[in-house]
Chain A
């Protein structure tokens, strides 16, 4: 009883835990209080003031998101005083917002627009401040566009960048009427520490931060008779795309997505999951090779622990933040880029297509992938390996543009080759997935036996805890791997760059020692990526994760090294993992970047 408080909201008795806010209490009773700056993933800001309510007995209204519920409170969420104030606040926000909705990319998916529509603010009683000021639009980044004229200063982006990602590329500058969200000395996003992770884009309630979209470019390529357009779909897209098309979170829509892409006119619908399996072969072997060099050859130049390299947000983060630890990052390209390099060489050859005329499009849960595809290192096929990158959201828009009734589409299979995949590849989309996939393969290479976990489910590395450590003892190795006998393989999984930074700090200071580190820039891994449907929050991430593990469990092949198309490419083209050809096409290097 001591830990509960009792209050009254709109005449309804509510009992909530101590420390909960008035907003929490109202929501527990399905009493709707509009909000804007509030986001479940972030700390309370209390700055938009849209959620003000009347606390009987106090002169001023209180922000329900920021005020703790207290015993005996009597709250009115819809009194005349509240209604008038709320109307004023929305009007004020609209007066400094470039509300030219039909010219806005977020038209139809904008929280301010929804609120204006809900409250029917059609009066526009105040002066238009937008036309009295000049605003800049930052369009230099290949991933993110920042349009200050649409910003309502809710600071969700600032809190995201600081709390979830510890990047702080975005901050508040100036005060009063000149106050704005800015970067270091107002440099373009492209030139600062921004990792392009897009978490800010995912949380921006308006069109102030959006992904740079390549929808028209992709349609142009599809309609170009001269081009052979190949599309690849990332693991996490198939459990989230449904949300962009009015399906509930956690729905697996792999088959419908393939059907939609085929109907849209792509020449081949292929799977990034395939190259995720390829990544495991390369990265697993790289890890074992590094261990061998360290343990057998006693090579002092070998960098351990090794970290994963699939997440381009993470790569740019470490390039800025811990450049001295770049040797620790696996040299493997991400599955997206491995796919591109193979598509324009092995696949083009097999299909008899001129790689110069091939366009590789990828569907990603990610905005950083757009930047990654643009990196100068990513041209090992002799062309730009991946031409155009779309987010899950952009694909949702294109499916609507194509007039497809997504929900009634049949389930279809990927084309072959580069279309077959294992369950290990699917789980790349969840935090801990790459670790689990790598262990399934590496353990079997070393011992000849499956990982000692029921149903191959390595549960210690799963979950949503920010940092998860797990170790696995290696026993009864095959003769080639005798040096690993009795070794306790120590691993750690971190997601969200704040957690990543913590782990790397530990390693740097020698406080912890690991062999293998998996890092994903976004909370929850790719399933919570910056390019995923809006909204994304803890509850939705959990549903997507559950769907991913369901998809894995339902796969006939669960281990990367058993994927027949992977076995085939090594036989026909690459030779073996870390071969000369592999190095040429599938591995890369990194660059040191500035710390601002």
Chain B
């Protein structure tokens, strides 16, 4: 069977290539149009999870008339089960900065920021050292671009781009109303490209190896390769760069412990895929998208506990401003407890499923909109575990 073929492992992100000044000089010599076209051709979509086409994002920002623009790298890696950005920054931090410089040159920005998750403070000395070299190279190359690092303070919602800007500005980290989008109204209200750590690296790589080569990896909807953070019931947890477009079955064959009953793809905000759906579920934008978080659960795990844990997380990490998210998360959390304890009938789960659907279509930002993903996929697939 085709989907039983072994996974294709790739080595682009962490490779030693594209690290030095000459490489940077080479890539910076390309025109903005070339860079954008290359990204569009490559089909690269944001690696943070939402998957917006990177080329379009850069193009929209480039097209803005405002002379003041920003490049922001989202390193607030907060999704439960993902730890790949930490590894990128730790091992090939320079590539991230080079990718940001490429973006800055393309859109016409003079300032860039790395918004670093507070818990990654330990990376600072190393990053500052790399930045010093980077800034020297910028000077040598005659490019006016400077990168600063801002630290987050532990709020999950600050990984949401507009909340991240608010946090960077020193305000309370609450998502904004959209539109306007960051390409038009971002950091300090100026046109801003905000991308995930991995996206900047991929954008750099694509502009070195060419879209054509990159395109060969992956599927029509999910081009290229990406990093996966693999955890849970697996004998070989860790970070792997894999070609996109595999089925969950292929994935489990490689990483499972032989007793996998479900895989949570995309973290707490993502989808839970049960064993019966392993073969026909593709990991990618045509199936279940992921920012990299892959959590495997074997038959010793209670899916009620898994969901309970996620909801506990969401009810605490909601910023609290919009009703569906703030109150909805509490209702889902307490609701499944009430069903489990027999205080509410099993049919109350239907009420909660409808509520999670409302949250999906009415919440102000991606946080509240995605709580329903895991709720739906766990409750629908493991209903008995919720009740008994």
Interface residues of A (CB under 8 A from B): 44-50, 52, 59-61, 63, 66-68, 81, 84-85, 88-89, 92-93, 95-96, 125-127, 129, 132, 152-153, 155, 171-172, 174-179
Say yes or no: B361 contacts A66, CB within 8 Å.
no
Identity of the chain A residue whose Cβ is nearest the Cβ of B360 in the assembled complex: A60
Contact A49 to B364, CB < 8 A, known contacts A88-B354, A89-B324, A175-B155: yes
Chain A residue contacts of B321, Cβ below 8 A = 45, 47, 153, 155, 172, 179
Chain A residue contacts of B314, Cβ below 8 A = 176
Chain B residue contacts of A46, Cβ below 8 A = 177, 322, 364
Chain A residue contacts of B328, Cβ below 8 A = 92
Give the CA-CA distance A488 to B321 in the complex, in Å: 51
Q: B157 an interface residue at 8 Å Cβ cutoff?
A: yes
Chain B residue contacts of A153, Cβ below 8 A = 320-321, 323, 326
Contact A88 to B324, CB < 8 A, known contacts A60-B362, A127-B338, A176-B316: yes
Say yes or no: B319 contacts A179, CB within 8 Å.
yes
Give the CA-CA distance A92 to B364 in the complex, in Å: 15
Which residue of B317, B351, B358 contacts A176 across the interface (Cβ within 8 Å)?
B317
A-contact bits for B26-64, CB 8 A (1 contact / 0 none): 000000000000000000000000000000000000000
Say yes or no: B331 contacts A127, CB within 8 Å.
yes
Chain B residue contacts of A126, Cβ below 8 A = 331, 335, 351, 355
Chain B residue contacts of A49, Cβ below 8 A = 322-324, 362-364
Q: A88-B355, A88-B362, A129-B334 are in contact. List 19 more A-B contacts (CB 8 A).
A: A44-B177, A45-B321, A48-B323, A49-B363, A52-B361, A60-B362, A60-B369, A63-B177, A63-B364, A85-B358, A88-B324, A93-B327, A127-B334, A129-B327, A152-B323, A172-B172, A172-B174, A177-B320, A177-B330
Give the CA-CA distance A50 to B157 in the complex, in Å: 22
Chain B residue contacts of A52, Cβ below 8 A = 361-362
Say yes or no: A84 contacts B354, CB within 8 Å.
yes
Give the CA-CA distance A175 to B313 in the complex, in Å: 12
In the complex, 28 of the A-B residue pairs with CB atoms within 8 angstroms, ordered by the A residue number, are: A46-B322, A47-B322, A49-B323, A52-B361, A63-B364, A85-B362, A92-B327, A92-B328, A93-B323, A93-B327, A96-B326, A96-B330, A126-B355, A127-B338, A129-B331, A153-B321, A155-B321, A172-B172, A175-B157, A175-B316, A175-B319, A176-B314, A176-B316, A176-B320, A177-B326, A178-B316, A178-B320, A179-B318
Say yes or no: A61 contacts B331, CB within 8 Å.
no
How far, in Å, is A173 (CB) from chain B's closest CB? 9
Interface residues of B (CB under 8 A from A): 155, 157, 172, 174, 177, 179, 314-324, 326-331, 334-335, 338, 351, 354-355, 358, 360-364, 369
How far, in Å, is A96 (CB) from chain B's closest CB? 5
Chain A residue contacts of B320, Cβ below 8 A = 153, 172, 174-179
Say yes or no: A48 contacts B358, CB within 8 Å.
no
Give the CA-CA distance A155 to B172 in the complex, in Å: 13
Identity of the chain B residue whose Cβ is nearest the Cβ of A96 in the assembled complex: B327
Chain A residue contacts of B331, Cβ below 8 A = 92, 95, 126-127, 129
Chain B residue contacts of A61, Cβ below 8 A = 361-362
Chain B residue contacts of A95, Cβ below 8 A = 327, 331
* Residue among B316, B317, B321 having the largest count of chain A Cβ atoms under 10 Å: B321
How far, in Å, is B318 (CB) from chain A's closest CB? 5
Say yes or no: A176 contacts B327, CB within 8 Å.
no
Q: Report the 4 A-B pairs with minimum CB-CB distance, sorted nearest first.
A: A179-B320, A92-B327, A66-B177, A88-B358
Say yes or no: B361 contacts A125, CB within 8 Å.
no
Chain A residue contacts of B323, Cβ below 8 A = 47-50, 89, 92-93, 152-153
Chain A residue contacts of B316, Cβ below 8 A = 175-178
Give the CA-CA distance A509 to B315 in the complex, in Å: 47
Chain B residue contacts of A48, Cβ below 8 A = 322-323
Give the CA-CA distance A171 to B335 in the complex, in Å: 30
Chain B residue contacts of A47, Cβ below 8 A = 321-323, 364
Say yes or no: A129 contacts B330, CB within 8 Å.
yes
Contact A177 to B324, CB < 8 A, known contacts A60-B360, A85-B358, A127-B335: no
Give the CA-CA distance A61 to B172 in the complex, in Å: 25
Give the CA-CA distance A48 to B315 in the complex, in Å: 17
Chain B residue contacts of A63, Cβ below 8 A = 177, 364
Which residue of A66, A84, A174, A176 contacts B329 across the interface (Cβ within 8 Å)?
A176
Chain A residue contacts of B179, Cβ below 8 A = 67-68
Chain A residue contacts of B351, Cβ below 8 A = 125-126
Which residue of B157, B330, B362 contacts A89 across the interface (Cβ within 8 Å)?
B362
Identity of the chain A residue whose Cβ is nearest the Cβ of B359 in the assembled complex: A88
Chain B residue contacts of A59, Cβ below 8 A = 361
Identity of the chain B residue whose Cβ is nearest the Cβ of A48 in the assembled complex: B323
Give the CA-CA distance A45 to B326 in the complex, in Å: 15
Say yes or no: A132 contacts B364, CB within 8 Å.
no
How far, in Å, is B239 (CB) from chain A's closest CB? 29
Give the CA-CA distance A4 to B307 in the complex, in Å: 48
Give the CA-CA distance A174 to B363 in the complex, in Å: 19
How far, in Å, is B344 (CB) from chain A's closest CB? 8
* Residue among A93, A153, A155, A177 having the largest count of chain B Cβ atoms under 10 Å: A177
Give the CA-CA distance A442 to B330 in the complex, in Å: 63
Chain A residue contacts of B318, Cβ below 8 A = 175-177, 179
Identity of the chain B residue whose Cβ is nearest the Cβ of A93 in the assembled complex: B323
Identity of the chain B residue whose Cβ is nearest the Cβ of A128 in the assembled complex: B334
Chain A residue contacts of B358, Cβ below 8 A = 84-85, 88-89
How far, in Å, is A457 (CB) from chain B's closest CB? 42
Chain B residue contacts of A68, Cβ below 8 A = 179
Identity of the chain A residue whose Cβ is nearest the Cβ of B317 in the assembled complex: A176
Identity of the chain B residue whose Cβ is nearest the Cβ of A44 in the assembled complex: B177
Give the CA-CA distance A46 to B325 in the complex, in Å: 13
* Residue among B316, B327, B355 having the largest count of chain A Cβ atoms under 10 Å: B327
Identity of the chain A residue whose Cβ is nearest the Cβ of B330 in the assembled complex: A177
How far, in Å, is A99 (CB) from chain B's closest CB? 13
Chain A residue contacts of B329, Cβ below 8 A = 176-177
Chain B residue contacts of A93, Cβ below 8 A = 323, 327
Chain A residue contacts of B362, Cβ below 8 A = 49, 52, 60-61, 85, 88-89
Give the CA-CA distance A67 to B179 in the complex, in Å: 7
Give the CA-CA distance A174 to B320 in the complex, in Å: 8
How far, in Å, is B145 (CB) from chain A's closest CB? 33
Chain B residue contacts of A96, Cβ below 8 A = 326-327, 330
Chain B residue contacts of A125, Cβ below 8 A = 351
* Residue among B179, B323, B326 having the largest count of chain A Cβ atoms under 10 Å: B323
Give the CA-CA distance A60 to B178 in the complex, in Å: 12
Contact A92 to B177, CB < 8 A, known contacts A127-B338, A176-B329: no
Chain B residue contacts of A155, Cβ below 8 A = 321
How far, in Å, is B345 (CB) from chain A's closest CB? 13
How far, in Å, is B130 (CB) from chain A's closest CB? 33
Give the CA-CA distance A425 to B360 in the complex, in Å: 57
Give the CA-CA distance A341 to B82 in the complex, in Å: 70
Chain B residue contacts of A81, Cβ below 8 A = 361
Give the CA-CA distance A478 to B341 in the complex, in Å: 90
Identity of the chain B residue whose Cβ is nearest the Cβ of A54 in the assembled complex: B361
How far, in Å, is A337 (CB) from chain B's closest CB? 39
Chain A residue contacts of B155, Cβ below 8 A = 175
Identity of the chain A residue whose Cβ is nearest the Cβ of B337 in the assembled complex: A127
Chain B residue contacts of A174, Cβ below 8 A = 320
Say yes or no: B364 contacts A177, CB within 8 Å.
no
Give the CA-CA distance A177 to B334 in the complex, in Å: 12
Give the CA-CA distance A127 to B314 in the complex, in Å: 18
Give the CA-CA distance A127 to B155 in the complex, in Å: 27
Chain A residue contacts of B322, Cβ below 8 A = 46-49
Which residue of B157, B324, B338, B354 contacts A92 across the interface (Cβ within 8 Å)?
B324
Chain A residue contacts of B177, Cβ below 8 A = 44, 46, 63, 66-67
Chain A residue contacts of B172, Cβ below 8 A = 171-172
How far, in Å, is B370 (CB) from chain A's closest CB? 12
Contact A179 to B335, CB < 8 A, known contacts A85-B362, A125-B351, A174-B320: no
Identity of the chain A residue whose Cβ is nearest the Cβ of B333 in the assembled complex: A177
Give the CA-CA distance A155 to B326 in the complex, in Å: 14
Chain B residue contacts of A177, Cβ below 8 A = 315-316, 318, 320, 326, 329-330
